[in-house]
Amino acid sequence: MAAKQKILIVDDDVNIAELISLYLTKECYDTHMVHDGEEALTAYEQYQPNLILLDLMLPGIDGYQVCRELRTKSNVPIIMLSAKGEIFDKVLGLELGADDYIIKPFDSKELVARVKAVLRRYQPSKADKASPDIKCVEYPNLVVNQTNYSVLYNGKPVDMPPKELELLYFLASSPNQVFTREQLLDHIWGYEYIGDTRTVDVHVKRLREKIKDHASWSLSTVWGIGYKFEVKS
């Protein structure tokens, strides 16, 4: 029997944390609850979760800072939680490396669906791994493999959250094809993000920080339209 996937719930509201834990336990996840930022960082090391649900407003270290700290040492998927009415900077959250966000109050089905979606992206199914149809593109000094979610740049592995890797793979697998921000949003993030094209810009910026343009290829902006993975002949 496969081990249960572990989810760390970080929320200073004990009732909400317990409710989330109940939803996820019903779906056969193992959960662990903590109620402030310091505890979250300690619990991450001890519990080693597969995913973190991270509330924005926490006593002491807030959710943004916890996310920033975690991203210095891990690519564990993070879904940020924000109460309706709180000033939540979606772009800042994504800049810091969050994979998704949910506004409270949320529907239990939506929460579970988003958790499953993020985990599915982060951990390809066994069927995918066994499939001979390996999703991999190779260029000089760059290998992007979406089957095992790995990137090699200049021969070295690059840590990359799932959405960044999927965006890079999507662009690199269609060299010189221009995609609008809306097309990229629809393909990588799905319908719920339509209209928020800054999400794409944030992820492209993060990709450029990790992977610099090569003499034979580059991640190019097509002004007024979107982006393309440009391959020079």
Which domains, from first to last, does the chain contain?
A: 6-122 (3.40.50.2300), 128-231 (1.10.10.10)
CB atoms < 10 A from the CB of 11, how many?
A: 26
Question: Residue 128's pLDDT is what?
Answer: 40
Consecutive H or E run containing 68: helix 63-71
Work out the average pLDDT over 136-152.
89
Question: Residue 95's pLDDT is what?
Answer: 74
Give the integer Cα–Cα distance in Å for 127 and 135: 13
For the stretch 70-101, pLDDT in tens is 988 888 899 999 876 666 666 777 777 788 88
Give the integer Cα–Cα distance in Å for 143 and 123: 19
Work out the average pLDDT over 20-43.
93
Q: What percent of the chain has pLDDT over 70?
A: 88
The residue that leads in pLDDT, 2 or 171, is: 171
Give the integer Cα–Cα distance in Å for 204 and 221: 9
pLDDT band at residue 172, thresholds of 50, 70 and 90? very high
Work out the average pLDDT over 113-136.
66
Q: What percent of the chain has pLDDT over 90?
A: 47
Tell me the HSE value of 214 on the side-chain side, using a 13 A CA sphere: 17
For residue 2, what is the DSSP state?
A: P
Question: Residue 193's pLDDT is what?
Answer: 52
Question: Residue 130's pLDDT is what?
Answer: 42
- The residue behind tokens 């097309």 is 183
Question: Residue 51's pLDDT is what?
Answer: 95
- The residue behind tokens 């965006």 is 167
Question: Residue 127's pLDDT is what?
Answer: 40
pTM exceeds 0.75: no
For the stretch 34-55, pLDDT in tens is 999 999 999 999 999 999 999 9
Inform me whether the pLDDT recorded for 203 exceeds 70. yes
Q: Mean pLDDT score of the chain, rounded to an integer? A: 85
Question: Residue 120's pLDDT is what?
Answer: 80
